[in-house]
């Protein structure tokens, strides 16, 4: 009986340690701007990181981008201390490995952060494969900016260990992290995600799994309303932006901001929300936004949107 009690206590202790330990290894899936930014900051803050993408060329581009970004950080942080800068760069880059196989690397990680294309079918396929390969203790998270976390998690058997970690671009510069809590997310997992956000040097806010979470739910309809105001002939593009800069203290007007976000991104978010919630008027995409995107005028990245660049 004493031996049985000892085994039970040992097992309970192992489970407790597994659920309370911090995140030391992070797997980031998606080698684009967001994925590489998340990988960089995770490595900078003492985590081991594996960056995954199906395309070796994307991974090569990602590591090059991270190295250049870290060089700027090192110059700012160490100034004329060339030895300190080199040590920082070498140790941070040394913490990052790459792979083209997500299934093979998730067996040795604590947290998986998905930062791939905003397509529910593709995310479902990925997480179905990962759920079968990753140990039970591994936490899954999506960096989606617009898709429901609960729906993404629906194909897994770890809904209590699946949350949203919405970083903002550029990740090394933007301090905010939205942690998205589904009804199924356990308190212990939420605590681990909060601790991870703090370790990453981010200011975390927690919100429920609502369309757009906090920032985009407030921001995107605001941008859309500015477009509709222009359509109604209330004011010109320039005057709408000037009014919000000088009258509301915004650093950038809504139409200029839409150009910087990407008009295709704004439209994609609105279309997704409108399809799911057609009764909500503010989610209906403005005709002008649809026209500009159809013409390839996507904002800053294409050289023209509401303004020319």
Catalytic residue among 178, 225, 238, 250: 178
DSSP for 1-13, written as a single string: -HHHHHHHHHHHH
CB distance 95 to 47 below 8 Å: yes
C-alpha–C-alpha distance, residues 221 and 282, integer Å: 6
145 tagged catalytic: yes
Report residue 123 CA to chain centroid gap.
Answer: 14
| Residue carrying structure tokens 């800053």 | 300
Sign of the CA dihedral running 35, 38, 41, 44: negative
Strand order in the sheet with 96-99: 96-99, 48-52, 25-29, 111-114, 139-142, 162-167, 176-181, 203-208
Catalytic residue among 36, 146, 150, 166: 166
Q: Is 208 helix (H, G, I), strand (E, B) or coil?
A: strand
Closest CA to 237 of 227, 247, 246, 224: 227
Count other C-beta atoms under 10 Å from residue 103's C-beta.
Answer: 14
- Burial of residue 225 (number of CB atoms within 10 Å: 0-12, 13-18, 19+): middle
Catalytic residue among 143, 145, 146, 150: 145
C-alpha–C-alpha distance, residues 169 and 181, integer Å: 21
C-alpha–C-alpha distance, residues 305 and 309, integer Å: 8
119 tagged catalytic: no
Catalytic residue among 36, 62, 146, 216: 216
Give the catalytic positions in this structure: 145, 166, 178, 216
């Amino acid at each position: 009986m004493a031996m049985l009690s000892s085994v039970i206590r040992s097992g309970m202790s192992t489970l407790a340690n597994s659920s309370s330990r911090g995140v030391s290894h992070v797997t980031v899936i998606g080698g684009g701007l967001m994925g590489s930014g998340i990988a960089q900051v995770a490595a900078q803050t003492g985590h081991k990181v594996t960056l995954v993408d199906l395309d070796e060329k994307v991974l090569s581009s990602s590591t090059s981008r991270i190295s250049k970004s870290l060089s700027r950080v090192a110059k700012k942080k160490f100034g004329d201390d060339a030895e300190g800068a080199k040590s920082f760069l070498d140790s941070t880059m040394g913490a990052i490995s790459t792979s083209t196989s997500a299934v093979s690397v998730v067996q040795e990680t604590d947290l998986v952060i998905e930062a791939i294309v905003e397509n529910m079918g593709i995310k479902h396929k990925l997480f179905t494969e990962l759920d079968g390969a990753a140990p039970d203790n591994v936490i899954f998270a999506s960096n989606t900016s617009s898709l429901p976390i609960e729906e993404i998690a629906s194909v897994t058997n770890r809904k209590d260990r699946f949350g949203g970690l919405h970083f903002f671009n550029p990740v090394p510069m933007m301090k905010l992290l939205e942690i998205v809590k589904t009804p199924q997310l356990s308190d212990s997992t939420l605590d681990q995600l909060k601790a991870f956000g703090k370790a990453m040097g981010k200011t975390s806010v927690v919100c429920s799994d609502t369309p757009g979470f906090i920032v985009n739910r407030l921001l995107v309809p605001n941008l859309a309303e500015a477009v509709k105001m222009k359509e109604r002939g209330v004011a010109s593009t320039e005057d709408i932006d000037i009014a919000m800069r000088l009258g509301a203290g915004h650093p950038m007007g809504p139409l200029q901001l839409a150009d910087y976000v990407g008009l295709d991104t704004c439209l994609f978010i609105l279309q997704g929300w409108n399809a799911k919630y057609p009764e909500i008027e503010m989610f209906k995409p403005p005709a002008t936004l649809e026209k500009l995107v159809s013409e390839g005028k996507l904002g800053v990245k294409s050289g023209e949107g509401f303004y020319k660049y």
